[in-house]
Amino acid sequence: FFRVHAMPKRETKNYTPETAFVEGLIHDPFTFFCVYCSEFAIILDVPLEKLPRRKTDCAFVIPTPETQLHRNNMEEGDCKLLKREKGTERQYRWLCRGCKLVLAYRSTDFKDSGGALYLKEGAVTRNTAINLTALAEKTVNIPECICVTEIGVKVILNVTMGAPVPCTVVDILNKAVLLQVKSSIKKEIIHYLIEKFFATLLGVQETLVGVTVVQETEKESETSLAMQELLEADKEKVLE
């Protein structure tokens, strides 16, 4: 007698970054879209505010694209030679597949697997509703974090540290505008810095911009009158 054993069926699965995330193989990927036309651009394992910044042009640095970049939907562009303060810089540029504008660049050839990838500041967003072309045509939806009140326009901000410049906008999500300030800025005067930043950005007087901290502990918010006077005296010096 011969005993016949049935062989188990073998099944092969091919995972894309999207299906791998759904099935739990990749945790918390962050999908970014072109800020100019909303075309899908890249998937990263960290949000922009967690990435280091380049001092030269404030670009977001992805040190190890081979591990941090889950998917790159940008297309190869041309190579540009830029003049810098200490010489020249060669940039191999990545373009949006939709509008063909520059979203990122690297200093090594496209065929080279090594080297950091630099995302241009303000080029990508996690909010698919952000579309500068539509904004120019006045057909874009305004995020929930920006609303009109009885006394003016209210904007909800999420502020983190780590910018190479005093203050910069990282992204505009539906629930909040992500703002990043320089780590050396004193915590006590951050709201003054934000007021100055938005006043300059909007082209209005600083007296028309007000910032209220809503997620600060009582201990952090208690400031003596003497300290307030010192902060006022030191404010303009730090903001320069």
SS3 17: helix
Closest CA to 100 of 157, 41, 184, 57: 41
- H helix intervals, 8-85: 17-22, 65-68
Closest CA to 34 of 120, 142, 109: 120
Regarding pTM above 0.85, the answer is: no
The model's pLDDT over 208-219, given as tens digits with 9 standing for 90+, comes to 888 887 765 443
Lowest-confidence region among 74-83, 87-96, 167-176: 167-176
Residue 199 pLDDT level (bands cut at 50, 70, 90): confident
> Residue 101 burial (CB < 10 Å; 0-12/13-18/19+)?
middle
DSSP state of 193: H
Residue 111: what pLDDT?
Answer: 81
Q: State percent of the chain over pLDDT 70.
A: 72
